[in-house]
Amino acid sequence: MMKKLFSLCVALAFTLILAACSGGGAPAGAYDPDATAQALLDSGAFSEALEALDADLISSLYGLESQPEAAAVYTSTGATAEEIAVLVFSTQEEADDARKALEARVSDQKDACEGYLPAELPKLEQAIVKESGSSVLLVVANDSQAAQAALDGLAQ
């Protein structure tokens, strides 16, 4: 009887350890792509509806060397610079590289909009680029304060 009880306790402990290690969603300290993107979409910070970007296009759009483990990207369907990108990577180094790529994206968008969409420049000047854990996000919104309030409201 004692042997069975001991075996049961060991199996239970092993199961709990596996469950804790496997987790779910985003790694600790990282943005959850779907929840973060949805909070931003619901915030009223955007002047138009944004459309989800196909996952196969994410790395090429942002010039990423590493494919994110999880991502939610929404871009403008019209002539605005508005977008949301929430990317989760397996390592901090990949996240650092992605943050630099997102900062370069904002800079490139500023250069591109300067001549033909000058009304979009204030949005790009107020772009939010953040890194948390092994995740990064980019938000270019019509109302950056509403977007920041949505981010502040997320439990990380």
Is residue 75, in this structure, part of any structural domain at all?
yes
Q: Report the distance separating Cα 116 and Cα 47, nearest Å.
A: 19
Is residue 64, in this structure, part of any structural domain at all?
yes
User: For the chain, what is the domain count?
Assistant: 1
Is residue 2, in this structure, part of any structural domain at all?
no
Predicted confidence pLDDT, tens digits, the chain (156 residues): 434 333 333 333 333 232 333 333 455 678 999 999 999 999 999 999 999 999 999 999 999 999 999 999 999 987 899 999 999 999 999 999 999 999 999 999 999 999 889 999 999 999 999 999 999 999 999 999 999 999 999 864
Q: Report the distance separating Cα 136 and Cα 85, nearest Å.
A: 8
pTM as predicted: 0.81
Domain that holds residue 32: 27-152
Is residue 66, in this structure, part of any structural domain at all?
yes
